[in-house]
Amino acid sequence: MITFHNPLQHTHAPEHEFFRGERVPCFENPTRAAYVEAALTARGHVLHPPDVDCAEILAKIHAPSYLAFLASAWQQWLSLGEGQDRVQPFPSVWPVRTLRSDVEPDNFIAKLGLYSMDNGSPLAAGTWTAAKAGADAAASAAARLAAGERAAFCSTRPPGHHAGPDFMGGYCFLNNAAVAAQWLRDHGAARVAVLDVDYHHGNGTQSIFYDRADVLFVSIHGDPHTEYPFYLGHADETGAGLGAGCNLNLPLPAGTDAATWFAALEQACARIAAFGADALVVSLGLDTYEGDPISRFRLATTDFLRLGARLRGVGLPTVLVLEGGYAAAALGTNAVNVLEGFEQ
Ligand code: Q9C
Ligand code: ZN
């Protein structure tokens, strides 16, 4: 399978996030992609750098005001004063119900809250550079399908599926899977299915496509009653307007084992087959792994071979885009297993 990487992923390297009141090292860090790249290389894959500029596609899935903020956010942070480069910006105020989100404030922290769903997505000097190159890599993988490839994999970070039309969240800034799906729509695919198998519901991807009939979103994830992102991902979210019926959420309880998870995958595949998609984008989160430090499904390393084989069985040109997965040292083997299961 042709594979792409993000040669600038390491430039997004915030140091800390918050966990239960403590500052802890970021779970989403550059070693993750390094492990995936090392495992791919060891198995004989050649990692291609991005060769597509996704700027036009980005403008179709994200708001111009959000893109402008993200591209300039670090410079705005630095301009607050001397020494800002030694600390990370975090939002501290949000426009929740009854407050206005239609007026962009001038205050940087207030802007950061306007364009964030949580305080768990720290910015660093290279965030925009890394996120843009990663989205380019996802578009590059999609472009290979139009050129006749059966499948393409994109190893990138930061991840993307929590990033919505005009906000970051859950370690995500630009929605790489949505970029791949929109690229396919713009280059000959009339209908595209996005299958999100990350442990966490892909709220950003769902929201981007919620009222569209040309993109089906299907997600298997931890029940939002107890799991992040908490405020989206329930089974009764089925799409709106023209997109009514084009959204399927399959929440499962924390602690779900492989047998139950693969039964949900069968449901997901049946819905994708019924939709009549021309291409498939997989949001490939590997935080369903039993060793993941922040997630609670129980897939073993060998289950990722089975996942790859089942994804091939869908029978569509397929882009696989890396999302979460925080047992970094296991991430390479787990990712390679999906690819090798797909190719067998
Ligand atoms: N400090 C993805 O998997 N909260 N994002 C974690 C631990 C956010 C995960 C809490 C989890 C987001 C792409
Ligand atoms: Zn996740």
Output the domain CATH number for residue 174: 3.40.800.20
Nearest alpha carbon, ligand 1 atom 7: 19
Q: Could you read off the pLDDT of 144-185 as tens digits, one per residue?
A: 998 999 999 999 999 999 999 999 999 999 999 999 999 999
> In 10 A of CB 134, how many CB atoms?
32
Residue-level pLDDT at 134: 98
Percent of the chain residues topping a pLDDT of 90: 99
Give Cα separations from 303 to 261, 314, 334, 337 (angstroms): 10, 17, 9, 8
Burial environment of residue 150 by CB neighbours within 10 A (0 to 12, 13 to 18, 19 or more): middle
The pick from 162, 221, 289 for probing ligand 1's pocket by mutation, whose C-beta has the most ligand atoms within 8 angstroms, reads 162
Q: Could you read off the pLDDT of 248-258 as tens digits, one per residue?
A: 999 999 999 99
Ligand 2 centroid vs 106 CA: distance in angstroms?
32
Overall average pLDDT of the 317-328 stretch: 98
Residue-level pLDDT at 180: 98
48 catalytic, yes or no? Answer: no
Contacts of 225 (CB under 8 A, 6+ apart): 251
Q: Give residue 99's identity as a one-letter amino acid code.
A: L
The average confidence (pLDDT) of the chain is: 98
> In 10 A of CB 258, how many CB atoms?
18
Ligand 1 centroid vs 64 CA: distance in angstroms?
26
Distance of alpha carbon 213 from alpha carbon 192, whole angstroms: 10
- Residues 284/308, Cβ–Cβ less than 8 Å: no
> Closest Cα partner for 8 from 56, 59, 50?
50
* Domains of the chain: total: 1
Residue-level pLDDT at 145: 96
Q: Give residue 331's identity as a one-letter amino acid code.
A: L
- Residues 93/145, Cβ–Cβ less than 8 Å: no
- Residues 304/6, Cβ–Cβ less than 8 Å: no
Overall average pLDDT of the 75-102 stretch: 96
- Residues 193/216, Cβ–Cβ less than 8 Å: yes
Q: Confidence class of residue 231 from pLDDT cuts 50, 70 and 90? A: very high
Residue-level pLDDT at 279: 98
Percent of the chain residues topping a pLDDT of 70: 100
Residue-level pLDDT at 68: 98
What's the domain range around 230? Answer: 2-343
Residue-level pLDDT at 138: 98
Distance of alpha carbon 341 from alpha carbon 1, whole angstroms: 11
Q: Confidence class of residue 48 from pLDDT cuts 50, 70 and 90? A: very high
Ligand 1 centroid vs 52 CA: distance in angstroms?
29
> Closest Cα partner for 194 from 262, 139, 268, 244?
268
How much is the pTM? 0.98
